[in-house]
Structure 1
């Protein structure tokens, strides 16, 4: 796609981003039909879309395959994240979040090696499809459904079955409380289950006390995405070799994952988000102020801002999944991911304003990041050390806010007698 066809490259890229934007919204169906079937379905279609891209016989078919790849690629990523957070106890949720981001960066780095070995783009995409199929195929048999989602849908027998399977795989004895086995324990009876449709999810997210934390998460996702790409436009290339440049571009994000893990482990979710947003905002504001002959300082500021905005994504991912009930968790991440896509799509046009005012774009992004960080510390409750909420009541009862007292300490959540079965199954049985 060169010479008179050079316009096709940006169009194909736009099709991919459009697919990601649509897929971000569609992940909400995992709240209706379950995590596992949506995840497996998205994985299968993603592989098929790559195969279609390899055999594409004309440009429209190629664009359609790119659209499908973006659509179902983001769907399986978000739904997978929801699923693993729901089958992991509170001690490991931070690690799982960082591990997901770490795996994403490693995958990004591996693209340079695969691209270097297979120069033909059709062979390159075909190899990626083959590797993806090898990774996804075992999920059809060994990937569990979310026990929490099954419990909240009143399917207690299936929930208990998966808990026993998880215990057996981990070589543990699942001594389930008789209350869980006979009455479903914390499982909601089928006749008391509310709708999980679009309108019900919107009502819960926008008309309950969850609203402030959820909207702050949406703002955080949007600003983080915009900040990441706006700073990336300022960063210099590491090498003139495109393969090395792609490899190093992914490699520099690995320390960001480690930074996010450490901060969330010791500072918690809201304080980590606020700190990284402020740090990224300051980097964005300072970047255009550096004289052109001090390129080293510009590069350092760009890397600090990029690392901060990437690490804070891990915090927002975790926050937006931990402040909402189980039946609205996919909807929360879906809307947040859609907001971030809107933010990233608008960055190229927003940065074009440099033609009229060189400082305006980065100054605006920096101020927005700092403001969203302040909102995060004020409106988002601390979720470190507590169980992930299953019901609206549990989500709204979390009043662990820092507000202006950023040094406040919250004790770990205590376990009541009524939660014995739930605590045992999600704390003492290591979830896979």
Structure 2
């Protein structure tokens, strides 16, 4: 039985599916929020070494303020004029010059001081003071995770990404074993614990533990909600549902800088990232399990109940023939052939064609995530306000998804993926060639690159959900997501290569985009084809090639 036959009777996207789909959009927005909130949680404000008490008192008298952050702004202005600014801020001041000042204006007026004569003594021993012009409270300024302790901040970000890698592996497989909805509810509980735990954390060790859990749950949200959303609708509406989910993900990029700008406190932001989970717990009573997954597990009666509920909401009554076919699905040869063995993530590499397809898909996810997060993490180096740049990086994703909607069915998934990947490569190459002082041009090219890589990332997300059968779809999405997390983790060290050769990171991004685009030619086209329910049907499909079929089979049983 082809599952799309059911949609022909109850409708591809009727009122029942729309309501379920609308509920799933909000956890996907939460997933987008969790993917980037670490940027603000771990942000480092401008800082300088805290002077001794006598010097601080002198500066307070001169500036007529007791605000530590304003004192920090004064010293940052002084220190930024030094040749070795980033190094010097980790050292104590030689305070004799400051003690001899008669007016704070002498610091503001650069022509009145020879800043190069300012000397530093030893590494900072009094702690640090921070500017609040760009950020309010963040974890690094609360626990002084700068200078010699900067590695702790870096490790905390790495721990977050490690959680995403583990989550991709575990939740992808778990969702295929116990179901999409149950796995989603486990994710909800983990995210609630992570948000509350971060809010009440009292040291970096606790922060690391709850960031691991937050990264773990972030991937769980994306995997369970995206697959549930795609499996509830018919072929004609899949591109719309997949794209709208990604638009909700994008909305988080606009929401999070606004939230932090209003809160100015990393603990409130962490709490805000966990509290929506309380609402998501209600989904246990109102969201349906995937009927595709239920049928793949032989739970025909439960699948029929859900399909009847959707049909009733759509004002359609199922025919007796369809009911009988659903109830007897577990007796069909198709089902028996598929359940002779338990399916797992290892099925993705057991046959030669599946191994090659899987490796190709996973490499594509690595490249897309590497460039996508590379552009996001490089936002601090763009000219202008961090908050505004972050919002612009989010807004530019909207036309990207609109373009995907326009061209997914017109030119196919494969061709659109190739074009967007190569477009990203061109943008990265141009960005690397522009001199650093052309900040407006660099920012413009960065936005274009963000648009094209968002297109390719959106296509590969949607494309992957169509390439693999229901029995291993979530496992395949899980490994793909893990590949993306690996790519995202690689972004930061690759960006650091600009210390050796400024255009090198962008050249690397361009080369990888070109290679990924070329390898995409080897993938099969899925435009207009129904989602495979199981391995057996995929094998039969391979034997039934026609002139219209794609010459590359999705799966066959040839052993490696």
Q: TM-score range by the shorter chain?
A: 0.7 to 0.9
State whether structure 2 residue 534 is matched by structure 1 residue 391.
Answer: yes
Highest RCO, 1 vs 2 (Cα 8 Å, sep ≥ 6):
1
Q: Are the structure 2 counterparts of residues 4 and 215 from structure 1 closer, same or farther at C-alpha, using a change threshold of 3 Å?
A: same
Taking only aligned residues, the RMSD between alpha carbons, in angstroms, comes to: 2.7
Q: Does 1:119 align with 2:254?
A: no
- Deviation readout 1:268-294 (Å, 9 max, x if unpaired): 110111110111111112221123444
Cα pair distance change 1:169/1:41, threshold 3 Å: farther
Q: Does 1:364 align with 2:508?
A: yes
2:459 to 315, 332, 342: 315
Moved more, 309-318 or 293-302: 293-302
Structure 1, 380-389 or 124-133: larger mean CA deviation? 124-133
CA pair 120-288 structure 1, distance change in 2 beyond 3 A: closer
1:78·1:334 contact (CA, 8 Å) conserved in 2? yes
For residues 324 and 205 of structure 1, do their structure 2 counterparts lie closer, same or farther at Cα, with a shift above 3 Å needed?
A: farther
From 93, 111, 122, the counterpart of 2:238: 93
1:177-188 to 2 correspondences below 5 Å = 177-184=322-329
1:363 to partner: Cα distance = 2.3
Name the SS of the counterpart of 2:275 in structure 1. Answer: helix
Please say if 1:348 is aligned against 2:488: no
Which residue of structure 2 lines up, in the alignment, with residue 420 of structure 1?
Answer: none
Q: Distance in 2 between matches of 1:237 and 1:40?
A: 39
CA distance in 2, matches of 1:130, 1:37: 19
Partner of 1:193: 339
Show the counterpart of 2:87. none
Deviation digits for residues 212-265 of structure 1 (CA, Å, limit 9, x no counterpart): 33222111111111222344466653632x443433332222222222222213
User: Aligned partners of 1:366, 1:5: CA distance in 2, in Å?
Assistant: 34
Q: Which residue in the other structure is 1:46 paired with? A: 191
Describe the shift of the 1:231–1:118 C-alpha distance in structure 2 as closer, same or farther (beyond 3 A): closer
Q: How does 1:16-415 map to 2 (within 5 A)?
A: 16-27=160-171, 28-134=173-279, 136-175=280-319, 177-184=322-329, 189=335, 193-196=339-342, 198=344, 201-232=345-376, 237=382, 239-240=384-385, 242-377=386-521, 379-396=522-539
SS in 2 for 1:180: helix
Does the Cα contact within 8 Å between 1:222 and 1:340 map onto a contact in 2?
yes
Structure 2 gap ranges (5+): 1-139, 551-560
1:206 and 1:393 mapped to 2: Cα distance? 14
Distance 1:212 1:395, change over 3 A: farther
1:101 & 1:391 partners in 2: Cα distance?
26
For each residue in 1:163-213, what CA deviation from the matched residue of structure 2 results, as whole angstroms up to 9, or x when unmatched?
111112333222252541441279655696144454xx3134441533333
- Pair 1:273–1:361, CA change in 2 (3 A): same
TM-score, scaled relative to structure 1? 0.84
Mapped to 2, the partners of 1:127 and 1:234 lie a distance apart of 25
Q: Which whole-Å deviations, capped at 9, do the CAs of 1:358-382 have from their partners, x for residues lacking one? A: 44432232122112112112x2111
Bigger-Rg structure (1/2): 2
Distance 1:205 1:35 in 2: 23
Q: Tell me, yes or no, if the aligned pair for 2:432 and 2:504 is still in contact at 8 Å.
A: no
Distance 2:503 2:265 in 1: 42
Q: How many residues align?
A: 399
Q: In structure 2, the residue corresponding to 1:210 is in which secondary structure? A: helix
Residues 272 and 55 of structure 1: CA distance in aligned 2, closer, same or farther (over 3 Å) = same
Alignment partners' CA distance in 2, 1:122 and 1:296:
34
Structure 1 contact 180–186 (Cα < 8 Å) conserved = no
Whether the 8 Å contact between 1:323 and 1:395 is mirrored in structure 2 is no
3-state SS of paired residue (1:209): helix
1:10 paired residue number: 154
Shift in alpha-carbon separation, 1:300–1:115, aligned structure 2, 3 A: closer
Q: Which moved more, 1:323-332 or 1:294-303?
A: 294-303
Q: 2-side partners of 1:291 and 1:390: how far apart? A: 52
Q: Distance in 2 between matches of 1:62 and 1:149?
A: 36
Q: TM-score, normalised by structure 2?
A: 0.66
Q: Secondary structure at the match of 2:298?
A: coil
Q: Is the 8 A contact 1:263 1:272 kept in 2?
A: yes
Distance 1:179 1:129 in 2: 44
Is the 8 Å Cα contact of residues 109 and 250 (structure 1) preserved in structure 2? yes
Go from structure 1 to structure 2 and tell me whether the alpha carbon gap of 1:357 and 1:117 turns closer, same or farther (over 3 Å shift).
Answer: closer
